[in-house]
């Protein structure tokens, strides 16, 4: 995700509006490495902006995803998580508490779609999910 300042311009360039709710969501996501779910974003925004609605959180996250500003993580079977870091990277998830950490190692030299499948799929990227148990749960 860009800085809140740049993001503001990006939205305006798309004919979108900057509201205090959105600014709050942007600030909470900026440099956030906790991979929050929509509900976790909602709770944090609500502390500062108590009248915000769940609908606004969902719609704003959808907007940010469509703009390519956040990545929607499909790794926890129960809910989606959002990652403002859109650089190529990977994740470890605890099978018990569902805590997600970033894995910044670059595997792109070794991980490639086999040639036999290249005729069937035009691949845009890949995502590695490590599964295990975190030290808090162990």
Partner DNA sequence: CTGTGTGCAAAACGTTTGCATGCCT
Partner DNA sequence: AGGCATGCAAACGTTTTGCACACAG
Nearer residue to DNA within complex by CB, 72 or 106: 72
State which of residues 5, 13, 15, 109 lies at the interface with DNA (CB under 7 A): 15
CB-based contact 97:134 (threshold 8 Å): yes
CB of 115 to DNA, least distance (A): 32
Q: Any idea how long the chain is?
A: 138
Question: Considering the rule CB under 7 A, would residue 47 count as an interface residue with DNA?
Answer: no
Applying CB under 8 A, the span of 2-10, 43-51, 53-61, 128-136 interacting with a second copy comes to 128-136
Applying CB under 8 A, the span of 2-10, 19-27, 45-53, 108-116 interacting with a second copy comes to 108-116
CA distance 110 to 47: 44
Question: Considering the rule CB under 7 A, would residue 98 count as an interface residue with DNA?
Answer: no
Question: Considering the rule CB under 7 A, would residue 71 count as an interface residue with DNA?
Answer: no
Q: Is the dihedral of CA 67, 68, 74, 78 positive or negative?
A: negative
CA dihedral 52, 55, 61, 65 (to 10 degrees): -160
Other beta carbons within 10 angstroms of residue 45's beta carbon come to 23
Interaction mask 71-90, a second copy, x per CB under 8 A: -x-xxxx--x----------
């Amino acid at each position: 995700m860009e800085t809140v300042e740049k993001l503001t311009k990006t939205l305006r360039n798309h004919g979108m509006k900057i509201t205090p709710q959105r600014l709050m969501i942007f600030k909470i996501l900026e440099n956030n490495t906790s991979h929050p779910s929509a509900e976790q974003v909602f709770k944090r925004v609500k502390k500062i902006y108590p009248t915000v609605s769940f609908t606004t959180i969902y719609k704003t996250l959808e907007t940010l995803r469509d703009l390519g500003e956040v990545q929607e993580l499909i790794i926890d079977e129960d809910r989606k998580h959002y990652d403002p870091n859109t650089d190529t990277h990977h994740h470890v998830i605890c099978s018990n508490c569902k805590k997600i950490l970033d894995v910044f190692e670059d595997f792109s030299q070794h991980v490639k779609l086999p040639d036999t499948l290249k005729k069937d799929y035009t691949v845009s990227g890949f995502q590695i999910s490590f599964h295990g148990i975190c030290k808090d749960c162990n």
